[in-house]
Amino acid sequence: MSKFVITGGAKLSGEIEVRGTKNFALKIIPASLLSKEKMIVSNMPEIEDTKRSLELLSSLGSKISKDSDKYIIDNSEVKETTLSSDIAKKFRASVMFVAPLLARFGEVKFPHPGGCVIGAGSRPIDLFLEGYQALGAKVSHKDGHYIIKADKLKGCEYFFTTVSVTATESLLMAASLASGTTVLKNCAMEPEIEELAVYLNRNGAKIEGAGTPIIKIEGVKEIGAGDIEIMPDRIETGTFAIMAAATNSELLIKNCRPENVQILLEIFKKIGINFEAGEFSILIKKTEKFTSYNIKTHEYPGFPTDLQSPYTMLMTQAHGSALIHETIYDRRLLFSDLLAQMGANIIMCDPHRIVVNGPTKLQGKELTSPDLRAGITMILAGLIAEGKTTIDNIYQIDRGYEQIDSRLRSIGAKIERVTD
């Protein structure tokens, strides 16, 4: 097994490039199934989850090739509509293959999707199943698999009783090839959803309102395919900004979209972290002292749950008390116990709320990465802790952050990947 070994105290400097968004790549890869034409993907993040997604796609008969840094996806020969359990259970985003297969082939068979330990139970998919039924599909369950069939999906009106990113993206894709009009209400508004709609509209779909709570889709007979460049990852952007602030370093974050992390930058202004935002870059400047600020995670454009754990770590170095309220996922605060083991002053108020008092000195520890966002947080904590920090189960980190150790070494971090 591999692990990361980090020696704390190094000052970071220089510049770091943000990679393509994991949570957009994991939608655009299955979205290629909506068309029999070729999709050409650039700026693909080379991470474990996208490798799993491409494996799953090729297990369906897709022809995937690489031309320098572009992926060419040819689904003209795809006939298989059953998702392989071995692969699908490895990551939650396997659920994104259901809508395009159902819309294009009229049937799909799949296991309950896998993924992180966060979230109540095993990450529910009730909103997806109800949405497909609203579109006229028949849903059944046998031998641990869901089977969904529909001769032809018909437009409908569907109201999401919980705001869900992947359920919004799934029903948007399914409705794009349905007959008639679909109106989705109480939709998620993440930038990745708008980006998906822009790509589909460029290739013949008729989707209005993506990025707002109400999305209207006119079903079309066929959707083409073409070039797509994966947008920069806003969670990587925010994570690197927090890392620079926590280590009191000057760091230029390049190839990013500052407007997609506006809530974090607005908080940085309030707590006194110096930075300059350009059109596609953020320069974090040295800041000796910054204060605490309460957050409550919320759907976009609110504070993203995927930045909650790095932000919680930042608050261990802030002056004052910060209430962190995680409203999206159960168990997404459990990692704070690891920070407490490193010396952080954290009070667990209830499973969704903690108070972080700072600043406190952290001590290096031997840790296990519970999920990818808590995993990167342990790396950040190791960078500021005294002494050595080792992190195992780093597959969880490699799921979402491309070559993170070599990229951090290039800006001065003392981090090594050690294989037993």
Q: Phi first, then psi: give them for residue 218, nearest 5 degrees.
A: -90, 115
Per-residue binding string, ligand EPZ, 236-265, x by CB under 6 A, is ------------------------------
Whose Cβ is closer to ligand EPZ: residue 216's or residue 331's? 331
Cα 35 to Cα 97, 107, 167, distances in angstroms: 13, 16, 20
Which one-letter amino acid corresponds to residue 48?
Answer: E
Report the phi/psi class of residue 71: left, alpha or beta, with left for phi > 0 and alpha for psi in -120 to 50: beta
Instruction: Tell whether omega for the bond before 232 is within 30 degrees of 0, i.e. cis.
Output: no
Shortest spacing between CB 173 and ligand EPZ, in angstroms:
13
* Residue 231 makes contact with ligand EPZ by CB under 6 A: no
Whose Cβ is closer to ligand EPZ: residue 18's or residue 372's? 372
* Residue 372 makes contact with ligand EPZ by CB under 6 A: yes
Whose Cβ is closer to ligand EPZ: residue 178's or residue 372's? 372
Restricted to residues 135-164, the positions that interact with ligand EPZ (CB under 6 A) are 162, 164
Among residues 116, 156, 187, 256, which one is catalytic? 116
Whose Cβ is closer to ligand EPZ: residue 127's or residue 137's? 127
Number of residues that bind ligand EPZ (CB under 6 A): 27
Cα 366 to Cα 6, 269, 324, distances in angstroms: 10, 34, 25
Catalogue the long-range contacts made by 193-197 (C-beta closer than 8 Å, 24 or more residues apart): 193/165, 193/168, 193/169, 195/24, 195/231, 196/24, 196/27, 196/28, 196/31, 196/169, 196/172, 197/172
Restricted to residues 329-358, the positions that interact with ligand EPZ (CB under 6 A) are 329
Nearest to 59 by CA among 17, 37, 39, 89: 89
349 is catalytic: no
- Of 33, 39, 73, 93, the residue at the interface with ligand EPZ (CB under 6 A) is 93
Q: How many CB atoms lie within 10 A of CB 175?
A: 31
**Stretch of 165-173, 219-227, 276-284, 411-419 lying at the interface with ligand EPZ (CB under 6 A):** 165-173
Positive/negative CA dihedral, 45, 49, 53, 56: positive
Nearest to 105 by CA among 129, 80, 87, 84: 80
Shortest spacing between CB 242 and ligand EPZ, in angstroms:
15
Contact predicate 57/33, CB 8 Å: yes
Interatomic CA distance for residues 74 and 76, integer angstroms: 6
* Residue 297 makes contact with ligand EPZ by CB under 6 A: no
Per-residue binding string, ligand EPZ, 104-133, x by CB under 6 A, is ------------x--xx--xxxxxx-----
Whose Cβ is closer to ligand EPZ: residue 192's or residue 275's? 192
- Expressed in angstroms, the distance from the first to the final Cα of the chain is 6
Shortest spacing between CB 280 and ligand EPZ, in angstroms:
22
Active site (catalytic) residues: 116
Which residues of this protein are in contact with ligand EPZ, per CB under 6 A? 22-23, 26, 92-93, 116, 119-120, 123-128, 162, 164-167, 188, 305-306, 328-329, 372-373, 400
